[in-house]
């Protein structure tokens, strides 16, 4: 938790990005497990990569927000750490990639399940500002770290 | 046609998720009275306790609501005498997190003057909930020096 290496982001930009994610994954779910749906999931997976590696400030979604949305709504009144959103983007990347690979392998149910998980997380994040990664992180640590 | 069925299924799943979320979010920060055997010592906590009460806030680096909760607890603690605030990184103190059943962050334990846990707030509390938890604890006894 060293604040020196922290980057502060505009939380509204991240919520906007979650809504962009939601629209794409919703389109993939409606189109279904076919070539068009797989292309949409591939695009979504690729869009998660910069957010999962550098952070949410590096995504296409955040560029859209900076150039199209923020000039109309002004500067943020508060900022947040980039770490929770980056963790969320990592979870999104894993789930979107899993859905894509399962779909390509012919496991349609896997495609729908993982796409639905991405849809639920991005919907709750965008609409209610709910951070699923924040709730899961400690459970994840507890499950993966052995007692000393 | 299939696309319409899938769209309807997605709408149902999202509506259920939204209802689950709203039910869950109403429970944020509720002051729950708990009995935890034994006391938390300054050694356990890595910091001195307050003479009247101590907020022990468990956070992680991956926690959007932890910094605002820290600011709220610090501000309220400063209004009272002998109330202190300790923030612990639960992902680094998994021993404490396991011992005290910390499943999510922020979780705030309220300790009495002896370091005994009297209540806990899971999730980000409101200012009213923080005051409610604190007002249950008596002020420290008289002392002459």
The predicted-structure confidence for A44-67, as pLDDT tens digits, reads as follows 999 999 999 999 999 999 999 999
pLDDT score of B110: 97
Regarding an ipTM greater than 0.90, the answer is no
Tell which residue, A83, A131, A99, has the closest CA to residue A31. Answer: A99
With beta carbons under 8 A apart, name residues in chain B contacting A123.
14, 17-18
The predicted-structure confidence for A83-130, as pLDDT tens digits, reads as follows 999 999 999 999 999 999 999 999 999 999 999 999 999 999 999 999
CB contact (8 A) between residue A124 and residue B17 = yes
Residue in this structure with the two tokens 């500002």, named with its chain if needed: A129
pLDDT score of A97: 98
Question: How far B141 CA sits from the closest chain A CA (Å)?
Answer: 37
Beta pairing class for B117-122 and B107-111: antiparallel
With beta carbons under 8 A apart, name residues in chain B contacting A147.
94-95, 98
CB neighbours (10 Å) of residue A144? Answer: 7
CB contact (8 A) between residue A130 and residue B25 = yes
The set of residues, in sequence order, having a beta carbon less than 8 Å from that of B114 and lying 6+ positions away, is B39
Q: Report the alpha-carbon distance of residue B43 to residue B48 in Å, rounded.
A: 8
CB contact (8 A) between residue A29 and residue B97 = no
CB B134 within 8 A of CB B83: yes
CB contact (8 A) between residue A26 and residue B65 = no
E strand or H helix at B90: none
The predicted-structure confidence for A16-32, as pLDDT tens digits, reads as follows 999 999 999 999 999 99
Beta pairing class for B117-122 and B31-33: antiparallel
Global confidence as pTM: 0.89
pLDDT above 80: residue B93: yes
Residue of chain B whose alpha carbon sits nearest to that of A87: B62
- The stretch B91-99 carries a mean pLDDT of 94
- In sequence order, what DSSP letters do the residues of A75-131 get, joined into one string? S-S--EESHHHHHHHHHHHHHHHHHHHHHHTT-HHHHHHHHHHHHHHHHHHHHH---
Q: Tell me the domains of chain B and their CATH numbers.
A: 31-135 (3.40.30.10)
With beta carbons under 8 A apart, name residues in chain B contacting A37.
none
The predicted-structure confidence for A70-94, as pLDDT tens digits, reads as follows 999 999 999 999 999 999 999 999 9
């Amino acid at each position: 938790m060293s604040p020196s290496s922290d980057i502060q982001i505009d939380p509204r930009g991240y919520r906007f990005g979650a809504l962009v994610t939601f629209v794409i994954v919703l389109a993939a779910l409606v189109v279904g497990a076919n070539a068009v749906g797989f292309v949409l999931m591939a695009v979504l997976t690729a869009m998660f990569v910069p957010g999962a590696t550098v952070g949410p400030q590096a995504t296409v979604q955040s560029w859209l927000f900076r150039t199209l949305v923020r000039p109309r709504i002004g500067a943020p009144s508060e900022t947040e750490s980039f770490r929770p959103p980056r963790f969320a983007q990592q979870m999104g990347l894993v789930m979107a990639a899993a859905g894509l690979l399962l779909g390509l392998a012919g496991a349609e149910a896997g495609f729908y399940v993982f796409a639905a998980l991405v849809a639920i997380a991005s919907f709750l994040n965008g609409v209610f500002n709910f951070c699923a990664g924040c709730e899961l992180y400690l459970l994840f640590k507890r499950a993966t770290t052995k007692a000393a | 046609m299939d696309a319409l069925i899938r769209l309807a299924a997605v709408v149902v799943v999202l509506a259920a998720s939204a209802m689950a979320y709203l039910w869950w979010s109403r429970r944020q920060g509720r002051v729950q009275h708990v009995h935890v055997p034994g006391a938390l010592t300054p050694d356990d906590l890595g910091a001195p306790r307050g003479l009247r009460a101590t907020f022990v806030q468990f956070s992680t680096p991956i926690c959007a609501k932890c910094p605002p909760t820290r600011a709220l607890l610090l501000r309220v603690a400063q209004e009272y005498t002998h109330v202190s605030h300790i923030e612990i990184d639960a992902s680094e103190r998994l021993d404490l997190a396991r011992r005290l059943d910390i499943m999510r962050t922020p979780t705030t334990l309220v300790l009495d003057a002896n370091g005994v846990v009297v209540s806990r707030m899971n999730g980000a509390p409101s200012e009213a909930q923080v005051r409610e938890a604190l007002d249950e604890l008596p002020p420290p006894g008289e002392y002459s020096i």
